[in-house]
């Protein structure tokens, strides 16, 4: 789970919202998650991500990308594709992905 929010990104940019249901700690998931975090940071145009999970197994990860090309590069990355396939077979009960264009963004942080 991320503890710091992604902020200060000048629109427009794109989001990939990944919502999933999976068991609490499936075998191999944590290691794969760390690897995916390493790989996505190498994608030109990747801006950051935020992630949270409920005790009941529902998780949401929002990835931020400068443009559709960078988001598509991530979607086509061979290791990412292999992890998605493995996840469908072994980890996830269900998931959904929503792609959006952000045209306005603002935030607040207490000093």
Q: Distance between CA 9 and CA 47 in Å, rounded?
A: 8
**Cβ-based neighbour number of residue 51 at 10 Å:** 14
Q: Distance between CA 68 and CA 45 in Å, rounded?
A: 9
Answer whether the bond into residue 12 is a cis peptide, omega within 30°.
yes
Q: Would residue 81 be called left, alpha or beta, if left means φ above 0 and alpha means ψ between -120 and 50 degrees?
A: alpha
pLDDT tens by residue, 92-106:
999 999 999 999 999
Which pTM value belongs to this model?
0.91
pLDDT tens by residue, 6-43:
988 999 999 999 999 987 778 899 999 999 999 999 99
């Amino acid at each position: 789970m991320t503890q710091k929010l992604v902020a200060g990104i000048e629109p427009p940019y794109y989001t990939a919202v990944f919502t999933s249901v999976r068991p609490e700690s499936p075998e191999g998931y944590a290691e794969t998650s760390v690897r995916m975090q390493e790989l996505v940071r190498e994608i030109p145009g990747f801006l950051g991500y935020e992630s949270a999970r409920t005790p009941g197994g529902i998780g949401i990860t929002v990835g931020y990308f400068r443009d559709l090309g960078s988001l598509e590069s991530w979607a086509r990355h061979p290791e990412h594709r292999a992890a998605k396939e493995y996840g469908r077979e072994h980890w996830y009960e269900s998931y959904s992905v929503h792609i959006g264009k952000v045209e306005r963004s603002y935030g607040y942080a207490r000093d």
